[in-house]
Structure formats: C-alpha cells, structure tokens
Structure 1
Amino acid sequence: MRTVGVEEELLLVRSGSGRAMSVAPQVVRRAESAARELATVAGRGSSVGGELQREQVETDTVPHRSMAELGEELVAWRAHAEHAARREGARVAALGTSPLPVEPLPGETERYRLIIDQFGQLGTEQLVCGCHVHVSVESDEEGVAVLDRIRVWLPVLLALSANSPYWQGRDSGYASYRSQVMGRWPTAGPEDVFGSAEAYHRYVADAVATGVAVDEGMVYLDARLSASYPTVEIRVADVCQDPRDAVLHAALCRALVDTAATRWRAGDPAPDVPTRMLRLATWQAGRYGTSGELLDPTTSLPRPAAEVMEALVAFVRPALEANDDLALVTEGIARLRRVGTGADRQRRELERTGDLTDVVAAAVRATHELEGEGP
C-alpha cells in the first residue's frame, strides 16, 4: 500500500477582526520550541514552517498508510499551529485566500525575497493556501507515467477542494480564486504528457535554465515529481476547511496514483487530451466548484458536477477497495454534496451574517472542528 503525506498552507488571522496577520516567523519559532509536545502523534519529518508570505504557515505530515492516522495528524498539526498562533494574538484558518483585504509581507528567507523581487506585483499579491498531497512511487519512471495519466482528473480534485471565493474583501465570482492566482505564474498549471522520466527532468532543467523559474521548487505544476521525496506531489487543491475533506482528497489522490500506475503497467496509453483543454477544465472547476457543471475528463464536454464526481469514484473504485478507503470516500462525497465545499460554506455564512469577519470566524471553527468560538 502506498504511503501518503500532506502539506497544508494555513492562513494566520488576527483574533477578533479576522484580518490576515503578518506573524509567521514568530509563530514558527514558537511552534518549533514546543514541537516535542507533538512527538507521540507526528514524529520525525513533520513540521510547522514558513511560506512565501508572513501571513501563512505550512504544516506537513509524515507518510501514512492509514487515512485515519493521517487525519489524526492533520488535526494535531492544525492544533499545534493554532496554539503557537494564539500566543501572538492570531488564529489559524484553513482558507484558500483571505476574505478580508490584505497587503502581504514577504517571508524571511532569501529565496522568497528573490521570487518576489523577480516577479514584482505577481509575487507581492500572492497570498494563497493550498493542499499538497505526496503519494509514494517506486521510481521516477512510474511517477511520470502517473503524472501523464492523472492529469485529466486534476480539475475534478480542484472542484472538490474549492475554498477561496473571496479576494481583497470582494466575492471573486469563483469557487477557487486561488486557482486563478496560481495560474498567473509562468510555470503553473497543467502540462503536456511527458512520456518518460527523462523528458520530465529535461523540462524541469530547461525551465530553470531560462532563469524564469529560480529553482526546481518554482515549477508549480498541478502535479509534479517531488524534488525531495520519492513521491508524486499533487498540488492542484485549495486547502480544505474541514480536515475530513483533506483526508477525502488524500484518499482520492492515492487511488488515482494506484489506478494510473496499474494502467501504465498494463500498457494502457495516457489519455490524449490536449493541455489547452485541461486549462479550460481547470478554469471551469475553479469558477463553479461542485455547484454547476464540470468538463468531462474523457470528452471535455460539460456535464453535471455530481456525475463527474461519480465518474471519478467509479474510475478509482478498485484502488479504493484495495486500500480500504471506499467507505471513507463514498461518505465524504456524500457529505460534500450535502453541505458543499469550503467556498459554498463561506458564501452561506456571508449570506447569513453579512460580515466577512464572521466568515473568517466560521472558517476558524471548521479548521479545528470547534463550535462557538470567534476568530
């Protein structure tokens, strides 16, 4: 059974007002000093770290085979980051973008400063939070074969995770405005079928050689080989408000990797869908989430989102059964259809209260599975 690890980017918001707060360096230092508190849950390899902007932190788990154990660690790291944030007058919210206006401040590392200097306003405006799932692969060759075969399904994963409808205090009109912000980077989004590990690595080397990508880590593809681990890293999703949705997403990612690898070994070719059509499918998923139509991964034609979600589950069902994840995914999809994505929940909260501060407060509660607390 393949292992799965998850990185979550989380927004730091001021207690009371819900506005993004530039305290990531302090929160990371406090989290590091208290890391031993989480040793029995997380262990070596997990962390709370900084990100591109000082209004966000990133947590990462160790690899897991059990989705239940992965969920426990996700919740534990959210709580650990929250504990450190509270010491700075902040809260931690799993939001893809800040609902309230913000002027981000760059992170402390030289690399982050270089990225922002090189990309100007694109870099200074970049405050988005995603969920990155690492699924183990046996080799780069298998990993690239997986990338070539899962690419058509990545827009569906984006739709399921959509959690960023607001940008600078206004409704963007998108379920995932984060996907639009990410799409502005020249190295982001879907990519062509590579065909081999050699071709993939040549693409990465060529991107860095141009000087546009400052390093391999700036190849922001929707899915890529990890530069640090023997994994496929699926990066298309918004961070999920509800940790159960994050586990659902991770289970689907693993099942997609399993299914793609099996088909590769059987000699099945990668789907011949042009990247230009995948860009349209990604836009559609970011615009509507699961509330409208998605583009069918096989025909590229509009189809009710519920039917496309069912098609995804059917496609990976043997892998879900083999991993004992079918019930988890079936129940998770049913929950999403019942209560909606994070974007749906944010919009319902604003409709109910008329105040984006309340939207942030509700997101903080959902992030930590709490009730009755403000931001």
Structure 2
Amino acid sequence: MRMFGVEEELLLVDASELEPVPWGWKVAQRHGPRPETGHEMTAEFQQEQLEIVYPPQLTLDDQLECLRVGRSWADDAASAFGARAVALATTPGAVTPHLVPNPRFQRIAEWTGITAVQQLTGGMHVHVDVASRAEAVAVLDRIRVWLPTLLALSSNSPFWNGSDTAFHSYRNQLWSRWPNTGPPDAFGSIESYDRQRESLLRSGVPLDEGMLYSDARLCDPHSTLEIRVTDVCLYATHAAVLAALIRALVETAARQWSAGAPPLQVETAVLRAWTWRASRCGLGRALVSPHTGFPGPAAEVVSELLEMVTPVLVEYGELEQVTGMVAEILRTGNGAQHQREAYVNAGDVHDVVAAALYATHEVSDKTPVNVGED
C-alpha cells in the first residue's frame, strides 16, 4: 500500500462574530510542529488562514483520525486568540485579507497585484508516494482526465464576498487567475515534464518552482505526486475518503502504466473546459465522462471512476467505506450544497459559517456508521 498524506488550508474566524480574523501567522508561530502526532501547523499566504500538514498514513481509518486530530488541534490553537478554525474554501462574507509578513509572499504580491490582494481560498492537497519520477509522470498522464470529477466531489465554495456565485467551487475560479494553474499537460516522459518546467521558470512569470500551481504536480522533495485540484472539504469524513479515492486512482494508474495501457488522450484546453463545468455544476448537474467526452449525469461519471479503481479498493480493504461515503455525498450533497442549505434555512452568511464550524469539528449525523466511527 502506498502512503498518502493530506494538507488542509483552514479559515480563521472570530469565535463570536464569525468574521475572518488575521491571526494565522501568530497562531502558527506559537505552535509549529506537534511531535507527539506528527502534525505541523504553518502560516498560509494570508493571515486569515492556517495550513495543517498531516503526517502520512497507510489506512483510511488512520487518515480520518489524523484529520480529526489536526482539525481539533487547529481549533484549540486558534481559541487562544479568540478564533475558530473552519473548513471553508472561500469566505462567505466580505473580507479584506492581510498578507503574511514573509519576503517571498511580498514578492509574489508585488508581482501579481490584485490577484494576490483578493487571494483567500482554501484547498486540500493530497500527496501519494511514488516509486520514481518516471512513475509519477506516467501516473499524472493517466489521472489528469479524472481531476474534474475529484473537484466536483470536493466542491465547498459556493459563496464569495457576500454573494452566491452560482458555482459549486468558486475557489477554483479564483485560483485560476494565478499563472500556471489548471490541468497539467500530457507529458509522456519525465524529460518532457522537466522541459516545460524549465521553460516556465525561464519566462520569469513563476518567481520560483513553488509557483508552478498545476492541479497535479510532482513533489520531488517528498517523492510524491501532489493532487491539488480539490477544495478543502467541509467534513473530515469527506476529506479522508476523497484522499483514499485519490490514492486508489494513483495506484490504478501506476498499474496501467506497468501493463502498457496508454492514457486517455484529452487536449489540455478541453480538459480545462471539463474543469470549469465541474467548478460550476459540482454534482448537481452533468459532468464530462473521460471515456466519451460528453456530459453525463454526475453519478454515472463518478461510478465510472469508482469502477476503474475498485480492484485496488478491494485489495486495500476500503471498497465499502469509499463507495458508501461517495454514495452519501451523491445523495446528500457536497460541501457546497450543504452550505447552500444552511443559507436557505437562515438567510445569513454568518449562519453558513456557524453550520460549517459544526461540520468541521463534529461527525455529521448523515455520516454512515461504517466510515471510521469510533
């Protein structure tokens, strides 16, 4: 089994007013790593956020417990400053973010202008171990067509600046304004991947390698493939199961490569359009099937993905947990749909934040009991 790890970007809000507060940098400075569990707390680009880096895990159950511990730790740390940590991928209300006083972030902000000024989004990044850089590129070529489906499952950002955007993942739209974002090309070899990376860096548009913001990329320092397309998930159960699904997809793609099976050929411009549809519609309407290139019911496209990775999920003993939770997400909605339900019930974005706080730190009453229950 491949090890897999998660990074989550959490929003900090005032504990009473539920408005974003700029304490992330100070909270991270006070806490940093947590040696007893392996979690790490770091500042993000804006002070209204914290990033929690979770230690790699081997099983879905351990991943879920790890996420719960990390979210609770972040919330406890924020409470010392009168704040709470919440898994929202955009801020439902209006906010003026405060840049973390970091020289690299300052250079990025000066270079990217209003894009940086308005940057306050929360993603979930999943790292999956790979045996080599060649394997990583081969896997990347084979999973890229499924990245829009993963985005739809994770979508958790319908509100921004006090308005319903009509998108399920408006985070994806905001993030797409940055250079070097979006679906990766099909490379075919590690040499091709490296040539593109070097050409982008020579252009001077990305100021460093960290600004190569593709939806999935090689992470050489950790010998992992990093999948970055997903929103931070409202529920820890959603996050853990989605991470397990991503790991199964990586393992399936690696086996396809070893068996000589070619990747599905989809042009990057077309894949970008599929991603836009997933960002706009989530699971509420059609997704594009990688096998046909045509829109189809979201549940059917998700089923295609599950069918492809089923042999790995069976081998890992995770089939029932993953398919059960994915079915639950399809039935009751992703984070975006849950946020909209909270807004309809109360008509105030503060109530959306309040509902999201409960979801972030409590097990949903809609969660099946067979998914990592204590």
Shift of 1:32: 3.0
Shift of 1:206: 1.6
- Quick check: 1:216–1:227 contact (8 Å CA) kept in 2? no
- Quick check: 2:235–2:363 contact (8 Å CA) kept in 1? no
Shift of 1:19: 1.3
Shift of 1:29: 2.3
Partner amino acid, structure 1, of 2:95: V
Are 1:10 and 2:3 matched, yes or no? Answer: no
Are 1:87 and 2:80 matched, yes or no? Answer: yes
In the TM superposition, 1:65-76 aligns within 5 A as 65-76=58-69
Q: Which runs of 5+ in 2 are unaligned?
A: 365-374
Aligned with 1:249 (options 218, 242, 245): 242
In the TM superposition, 1:1-375 aligns within 5 A as 1-32=1-32, 35=34, 39=36, 42-43=37-38, 46-369=39-362
- Quick check: 1:190–1:275 contact (8 Å CA) kept in 2? yes
Runs of at least 4 residues off by over 6 Å: none
- Quick check: 1:18–1:100 contact (8 Å CA) kept in 2? no
Shift of 1:18: 1.6
Compared with structure 1, are the counterparts of its residues 313 and 78 closer, same or farther at alpha carbon in structure 2 (3 Å cutoff)?
A: same
Helix, strand or coil at the partner of 2:63 = helix
CA distance in 2, matches of 1:32, 1:153: 34
Q: Which runs of 5+ in 1 are unaligned?
A: none
CA distance in 2, matches of 1:362, 1:139: 43
CA distance in 2, matches of 1:205, 1:60: 28
Aligned residues: 364
Cα deviations by residue, 1:246-289 (Å, 9 ceiling, x for unpaired): 01110111111011101111111121111111111100100011
- Quick check: 1:241–1:367 contact (8 Å CA) kept in 2? yes
CA distance in 1, matches of 2:220, 2:203: 19
Question: How large is the Cα RMSD of the aligned pairs?
Answer: 1.2
CA distance in 1, matches of 2:216, 2:132: 16
- Quick check: 1:320–1:326 contact (8 Å CA) kept in 2? yes
Cα deviations by residue, 1:208-234 (Å, 9 ceiling, x for unpaired): 121110111111101000142100000
Shift of 1:370: 6.6
- Quick check: 2:264–2:290 contact (8 Å CA) kept in 1? no
Partner amino acid, structure 2, of 1:124: V
Compared with structure 1, are the counterparts of its residues 370 and 335 closer, same or farther at alpha carbon in structure 2 (3 Å cutoff)?
A: closer
Helix, strand or coil at the partner of 1:228 = helix
- Quick check: 1:346–1:359 contact (8 Å CA) kept in 2? yes
CA distance in 2, matches of 1:101, 1:286: 21
Partner amino acid, structure 2, of 1:20: P
